[in-house]
A and B are shown apart, each in its own frame.
Chain A
Amino acid sequence: MPARPRRAAVALAATASIALLASACTGSAQNTASDDPDARTEITFWHGWSAPTEVKAIKENVARFEKAHPNIKVKVVGNINDDKLNQALRAGGSNGPDVAASFTTANVGKFCASGALADLKPFLEKDKVDLDKTFSKVLQDYTQFEGKRCSLPLLSDAYGLYYNKDAFKAAGITAPPKTWSEFGEVAKKLTKEKGDSYEQLGFMPNYLGYETVPSHYMSQWDHTYFDANGKSNLAKDPAFAEMLTYQKSLVDGLGGFARLDKYRTTFGDEWGAKHPFHTGQVAMQLDGEWRLNFIKDAKVGFEVGVAPLPVADDEVAEYGKGYLSGTIIGIAPQSKKQNAAWELVKYMTMDTEAVVNFANGIGNVPSTLEALKSPNLTFDDRFKTFLDIAQHPESTTSDGAVNGSTYQDTFQDFAQKYEKGQVQDLKKGLEETAAQIDRDIAQAK
């Protein structure tokens, strides 16, 4: 009798363990683009948008492209995240994309360094595109890695401060704060406690409070993530310690980590109508320009104001800057229709009419310099704040790295430990985190 379960167990053990060992597929092809872009062809375009209005805007944009290029038909596949995209770019095959868009600018380093997206230089040279005349420097930066240009910007995002004007009025605050010390005071004034929780919190400073991630805070302090040798600057650049210390003072000043974190668990979904800013649970929110559309859709019951995020007290001259990121678009290296794919990429990223229409449809910041100036942008007045942030010379984005966003994740991990009070020695902690980032990059090289 006992023999049976034993054998069954061994067999189960073997098969179950093996299920964990699924190994990867091979396959890489360095294609030279030789297809004729004027021939009748069909290309596949993968993107990550999923909301109905966004999908509609994409379809309209593609329809305009097809009208201008009647020989090229575009098959559009939506709701693709970076995991799926990465796997498809590695697997190759005819079901994969010819053109692919991604939201994660931090992954561009990985896309370019590994060759997951094709080098666009030959195409740009062929069409004599002057990038400096087309895109701002930040946008050019985050779509290339170490001189290798494997993607182009398709619309961009700018981060600013949303505030509840009614709550401001009630608290007697007349203007949005410009420096972080002003911000701290305003956040406290706007905070109404209720028992051991809050009726209204001025600002949710925690790193898990949706867009209040370390990289978004960091844009308001002059900083560089890597030194000239590509080593992490976390311990050497004082901006990081300053930001962490300031954020912790916000956390402590507004009620302490545990209490804030418990309040955070009462928040609705970031991408739904019950977002804590919509419901009045928090009076100020660090967020991207897209929130304007969400606010409209959720029909919030108060007046919403927008402003740039505050800056470090000694950087007042740079008020107006912010964090930038955006969607990036590139061509799959395995694609056999790269010239046709390039036509779509070129149209979507650089045709002013296309960029303006798409930006209008999707509620994002247009990516080309020309589109930014277009009179055809149909945004409400508040959107201008984000357009200004997008064009501010001191606005920044996170650097690319050979291992994508891994260095950001490591920094974020440390920042979360620090805000909880688990780190005693900030300097030592930053040194260790920097060393870890260096080790991870060495492993990825």
Chain B
Amino acid sequence: MSTDTLDGRHTLRSKRVRSALRTVAFMSPWLIGFGVFFAYPLVSTLYFSFMKYDGLNPPTWRGLDNWTYVFSDLPKFWPAMQNTLWLAVVMVACRVVFGLGVGMLITKIKTGAGVFRTLFYLPYLAPPVAATLAFVFLLNPGTGPVNSLLEAVGIPAPSWFNDAAWAKPALTVLAVWGVGDLMVIFMAALLDVPKEQYEAAELDGASAWQRFRYVTLPNISPIVLFAVVTGIIGAMQYYTQPIVAAKVASGVMGGSGQTFEPGYPDDSTLTLPQLVYNLGFGRFDYGAACVVALVLFALSMAFTALLMRRRGGLIGSGD
């Protein structure tokens, strides 16, 4: 610091300012995106959750009324919450286990792997509405081939999308069928596991299960975590499949005398995003819709934070 003159300090400061400006400039796409698509909607959602607002008349202050309405006076809120949590746990678990299983199977197959890979990946390409329609048709309790088959071999066939106890399992079957996306990333991860580790484990006399538990799993655990977290976020946004299934299975396609209430049968397929839509764009009660949206946001954040904290356990000692 021998050149600690006024001049030198000046250049130093302007350098620092310039570099800070440059950083901000480089960050600006993200900053703008964050502001426009995250901060502003979040703040206004919070703001509208305290207002009565129907999109036409100026919003009026309502205090906590929307919150108490949603939590204590809206009977559909708790079923929607339960269904969303059920799907986040069961559907995601099934998808991850199945995706990993198929991925492992296909990496092991010597001949025809390409065919199987394509076969398992294809369903993922089906548009959700079309896939759901196909499943409602296949699982139709009266005319569907699946139940005809089950009845033919003497197995009591469930009513699937027409039975409150089976509607979510039916949706899970549909989700597992379209597991191609997970299969692909699991396959990539599995092929990345160093061969030497398997060889070493084998030399040590590790069984197939031990090789999976102590070699495969620690190596692919970041991908498992990724699959679980994105799966849960997907479950939190689950909208298209249950609404299409409910509409088609209930036969209420919106005639002149009927209005469609999502959740058929018995609110068993009602999810929080459907409730947000129904409150916001069906009833035009934006206040209550914002409350549910915030609950959903908090839930997504809580799940993600929980998993990130516990990732030590998930990822294993090798990390």
Interface residues in B145-195 by Cβ distance below 8 A to A read: 159, 162
Given A12-B230, A288-B257, is A114 in contact with B56 using a C-beta cutoff of 8 Å?
Answer: yes
User: Are A5 and B259 within 8 A (Cβ)?
Assistant: no
A1 located at the interface, meaning its Cβ lies under 8 Å from any Cβ of chain B in the complex:
yes
Distance to closest chain B CB from A434 (angstroms): 13
Within 8 A of A (CB), among B7-63: 37-38, 41-42, 44-45, 48, 53-58
User: Do B282 and A83 have beta carbons less than 8 Å apart?
Assistant: yes
B5 adjacent to chain A (CB < 8 Å)? no
Across the interface, do B283 and A444 meet the contact criterion of CB distance under 8 Å?
yes
Interface size class of B (residues with CB under 8 A): 35 or more
A325-B53 Cα distance, complex, nearest whole Å: 29
Report whether B285 and A444 are in contact in the complex, using a CB–CB cutoff of 8 Å: yes
Q: Among B44, B58, B236, B297, point to the contact of A28 (Cβ < 8 A).
A: B58
Inter-chain contact A10/B281, CB cutoff 8 Å? no
Chain A proximity of B147: nearest CB distance (Å): 10
Which residue of chain A has its CB nearest to the CB of B298? A17
Nearest chain-B residue to A438 (Cβ)? B73
Q: How far is the CA of A12 from the CA of B230 in the complex (A)?
A: 7
Contact: A114 with B308, CB < 8 Å? no
Measured CA separation A211–B237 after assembly (Å) = 32
> Which residues from B are CB-within-8-Å of A210?
251, 255, 258
Q: Is the CB of B222 within 8 A of A157?
A: no
A106 to B258, CA, bound (A): 10
Select from chain A the residue with minimum beta-carbon distance to B76: A413
Please give me the residue from chain A that is nearest to B297 by CB atom: A17
Indicate the size class of the contact surface on chain A: 35 or more
Q: Is the CB of B252 within 8 A of A211?
A: no
Note all chain B residues with C-beta closer than 8 A to A23: 41, 44-45, 48, 286, 290
| Given A17-B297, A83-B281, A10-B304 contact (CB < 8 Å) | yes
Q: Given A2-B311, A20-B273, A404-B283, A208–B257 Cβ distance below 8 Å?
A: no
Chain A window 403-424, contacts with chain B (Cβ cutoff 8 Å), 1 for yes, 0 for no = 1111011001100110000100
CB distance from B190 to the nearest CB of A (A): 15
Q: Identify the closest chain B residue to A398 (Cβ).
A: B257
B229/A262 in contact, CB under 8 A: no
Residue contact B56 to A265, C-beta cutoff 8 Å: no
Cβ contacts A207-234/B at 8 Å (1 or 0 each): 0111101011000000000000000000
Contact residues, B184-237 vs A (CB, 8 A): 221-223, 225-226, 229-230, 233-234, 236-237
Q: Which residues of B sit under 8 angstroms from A14, Cβ to Cβ? A: 38
Contact A5 B286 (CB under 8 A): no
Any B CB within 8 A of the CB of A149: no
Q: Identify 9 residue pairs between A and B in the complex whose beta-carbon atoms are under 8 Å apart, listed by A's number.
A: A6-B225, A23-B44, A25-B55, A262-B142, A403-B285, A405-B259, A413-B261, A417-B266, A440-B73
A-B pairs with lowest CB-CB distance, top 7: A266-B142, A90-B55, A265-B142, A5-B226, A9-B229, A13-B304, A2-B222
